[in-house]
Structure 1
Amino acid sequence: MTCNDTLARLLARLCPMHIVVDDTGVIRRAGPTLQKLRPDHPMPGQRFLDLFELTRPRRTCRFDDLLASGESKLNVTFRTAPHTALKGHIVPLPGCAVIDLSFGISLIDAVRDYALSSADFAPTSLATELLYLVEAKSAVMGEYGQLSRRLQAARVSAEEQAFTDTLTGLKNRRAMDHVLARKAGGGIPYSVMHIDLDFFKQVNDTLGHAAGDHVLQQVARILVEETRHEDTVARVGGDEFVIVFDDLTDRPRLRRIGQRLIDRLQQPMQFRGRPCAISASIGIAPSVEQPLSTPAGLLRLADLALYDAKHAGRSTLCFAAPRSGTRTACPPGAEVDETQGGCPPG
């Protein structure tokens, strides 16, 4: 190995961003890291001032003027994109000059733009220390990001559990209260339907609580199937359910929905080969018919209408009468006077 080869290896190791330029300004050798910045265009053979624009010292157009200026500090910028700015020192030697370049404060941007690592810098360079700090910061931020995502997922899960009935998957009483609270002053009409299961206690007493849980899950499925995505279906008690219908106050439509629910729920549900027979009583209160009622008050009116339906014989729905506060029960098959909100006498 010749002395020149040894010197070249030494420069590549200790100054991986060096350039050896002859006295005519032509690059004869470039360090491995510097060449990595322009991998498709070998630097040896190019003129230094064709590759770089001098910003310090200024007003220097020829390489021999640069050497004659006696200036040792350089600021240069690549003439082609990306226009990375570099700082450097030039050391004139007989027949050539060695220029050692660095990124300065733009090191982090350069590492990102050129995918550099600590192996691209001299072992004693402060750049390696900074890169270690950046890598450590990235690792910490990565861990922090994962922790933050886990905490966010846990928070969402906890909120969902707090607002979800675990047995049926429906909203719970707390969630329904939040939905009704948002209705106050919202300006969008809505209706509240209160549903109570008839004969549910007999199912629990005769077939056990497993059968009762099965019935509640089937009821939840039917309620979801008979309502829209924008409606809120909640289990608010052992065998009590509430549906909040968004922007739906039309009595005929509400009555049809309620009657479908009654028809479906009175069909026996099979549990381990044995029928579970229940029915449903329903109370309904549209907001437009109770303009002075709060959401909680409307729920109370639907609850009172539900008890009237119970007293009328079960498997029945009842509307809260407009304004007056009295209710009229609607037995199955009865013709309803929709304008008066009740069933005809007799």
Structure 2
Amino acid sequence: MNAVSESWACAALVGLDGPALGRLMPMHLYLCPEGRVRHAGPTVERLAGGNLCGRPFAEVVTLRRPRAAADMAGLLALAGLPLKLTLAAEPVLSLKGLVVALPDGEGALLNLSMGISLLDAVGKFDLTLHDFAPTDLAAELLYLTEAKSAVTGELRRLAQRLNGARVSAEEKAATDILTGLGNRRRLEATLKQFLGQGRPFALMHMDLDYFKQINDTHGHAVGDVVLCEVAERLTDECRVQDVVTRVGGDEFVILAVDIVDPLRLEKIAQRLISRLENPIQVEGIDCRISASIGLSVFTRHSAPDPARLMREADMALYESKGAGRARVTVYIPPEPPAGGDPG
């Protein structure tokens, strides 16, 4: 009897055609009296890796409990008992089974199902509800798993959106709306970060000179354009690792990372002033400004006090303003009194 006629013999035996039997029991093996597969359900063939017709059942499945069976007599001796077995092609996939002898010595019907291995099989073979009989409890579990996966995915996407919104809100809260630079909140957070790392840096407090005259003469709209141009020029002159912030109307603070040499800092500040003194054209108006700068320095040997650093930079800035503007002053700590405690 060839494979096709054997398949129809299976159908005639149970009164169903092959597709109907496969739909009813997607994981069945119909065995002939010699123990070879006459017909197999579509799901078990998918798991086993191809057409199983004509193969001995012992090459397809391996019985684990209650005991192994290598031939048809051994298998039929287990009829009606709950079986634990695996597929030869997937030995790590645990299956349950039940074998029933067919009348008139026509062979046996071995029906398989999944237990705790269901989720592993679903993930590995991309199984869906169509791979199981509608009455199989696996279908219910698969439905719940798919529903859980959908809910989990949606919750994950919602969490990502909320986190993105939080990050965006924090970014906006630390950004100056007009210039796009960091604001005082960004400055304070970065100061805290650098001090916590013990990273040397210079704090450069800048106040624009003659900016009030532009606002008073040409209006705040022109003044806003000038501030935006100042922000762009400062960003161009600074390195990527430096932090440029706007902390007030015409006040800017720059954190110059890993630069603590006073002479080098003065040259950098003078270069910034020279760049800002280049005229800014706004609607045909030639706007001219300059800047006064005060500098304080933090080294690994300094006490990590952000308020003190800002105060020192303010004092140096005040000195630059008082000396005629368009100047740079580096704060120099006073010498301790003779014989006094240097700390």
Contact between 1:57 and 1:71, CA under 8 Å: does it hold in 2?
no
Q: What residue number does 2:199 align with? A: 188
What's 2:100 paired with?
91
Q: Which position in structure 2 is the counterpart of 1:339?
A: none
Aligned AA (2:245)? A
Counterpart of 1:218? 229
Alignment match of 2:284 (pick from 273, 285, 293): 273
Distance 1:6 1:69, change over 3 A: closer
Relative to structure 1, the CA distance from residue 29 to residue 288 in structure 2 (aligned partners, 3 Å threshold; closer, same or farther) is: closer
Q: Aligned runs of 1:100-111 on 2, under 5 Å?
A: 100-111=111-122
SS of residue matched to 1:137: helix
Which of residues 41, 60, 69 in structure 2 aligns to 1:31?
A: 41
Matched, 1:18 2:28: yes
**Aligned ranges 1:296-315 → 2 under 5 Å:** 296-315=307-326
Q: How many Å separate the matches in 2 of 1:88 and 1:69?
A: 10
1:61 is aligned to 2:60: no
Return the alpha-carbon distance in structure 2 between the equivalents of residues 291 and 110 of structure 1: 62
Shift of 1:69: 4.6
SS in 2 for 1:105: coil
With over 3 angstroms needed to count, the CA separation of the structure-2 counterparts of 1:48 and 1:209, relative to structure 1, is: same
Counterpart position of 2:275:
264
The 3-state SS of whatever aligns with 2:116 is helix
SS in 2 for 1:194: strand
> 1:117 aligned to 2:115?
no
Shift of the 123–296 alpha-carbon distance from structure 1 to 2, 3 Å rule, reads same
Q: Does 1:242 align with 2:291?
A: no
Gaps of 5+ in 1: 326-346
Q: Is the 8 A contact 2:207 2:291 kept in 1?
A: yes
**For residues 302 and 132 of structure 2, what CA distance do their matches in structure 1 show?**
76
Tell me how many residue pairs correspond in the alignment.
Answer: 324
- Deviation of 1:7 (Å): 4.8
Q: Aligned letter for 1:239? A: D
Distance in 2 separating the partners of 1:69 and 1:193: 87
Q: Answer with 57-66 or 225-234: which moved more.
A: 57-66
Are the structure 2 counterparts of residues 85 and 320 from structure 1 closer, same or farther at C-alpha, using a change threshold of 3 Å?
same
Q: Distance in 2 between matches of 1:180 and 1:34?
A: 64
- In structure 1, the residue corresponding to 2:48 is in which secondary structure? coil
Could you list the per-position Cα deviations for residues 216-259 of structure 1 after superposition, in whole angstroms to 9, with x for gaps in the alignment? 11111111122222222111110001112222111121111111
Question: C-alpha offsets along residues 273-295 of structure 1, whole Å, 9 cap, x if unaligned?
Answer: 21111111111122359946832
Hey, what's the Cα distance between the residues in 1 that align with 2:38 and 2:25?
A: 15
1:183: how far off?
4.2
Q: Distance in 1 between matches of 2:78 and 2:146?
A: 41
Q: Determine the structure 1 residue equivalent to 2:3.
A: none
Partner deviation per Cα, 1:184-205 (whole Å, 9 max, x = no partner): 4643322111100011111112
1:3–1:321 Cα change, 3 Å: closer
Runs of 4+ in 1 over 6 A off after TM superposition: none
Aligned amino acid, residue 3 of structure 1: A
Match of 2:264 in 1: 253
In structure 2, the partner of 1:43 is: 52
Instruction: Give yes or no for contact 1:30–1:43 (8 Å, CA) kept in 2.
Output: yes
Q: Does the aligned pair in 2 maintain the 1:289–1:323 contact within 8 Å? A: no
Give the conservation status (yes or no) of the 8 Å contact 1:191–1:284: yes
**In 2, distance between residues paired with 1:59 and 1:266?**
93
Separation in 2, partners of 1:9, 1:284: 85
RMSD across aligned positions (CA):
2.2
Q: Does 1:231 align with 2:242?
A: yes
Following TM superposition, by how much is the alpha carbon of 1:302 offset from its aligned partner in structure 2, in angstroms? Answer: 1.2
Distance across 2 between alignment mates of 1:290 and 1:86: 69
Matches within 5 A, 1:144-183: 144-183=155-194
Identify if the C-alpha distance between structure 1 residues 194 and 54 changes in structure 2 by more than 3 Å, giving closer, same or farther.
same
Return the alpha-carbon distance in structure 2 between the equivalents of residues 92 and 22 of structure 1. Answer: 10
For 2:184 and 2:279, locate their aligned partners in 1 and report how far apart those are by CA, in whole Å: 27
Aligned letter for 1:15?
Answer: M
Larger CA deviation: 151-160 vs 188-197: 188-197
Aligned partners of 1:183 and 1:271: how far apart in 2? 37
Compute the TM-score of the two structures, normalised by the length of structure 2. 0.88
Secondary structure of 1:88's partner?
strand
Measure how far apart 1:52 and its partner are.
1.3
Q: Do structure 1's residue 321 and structure 2's residue 321 form an aligned pair?
A: no
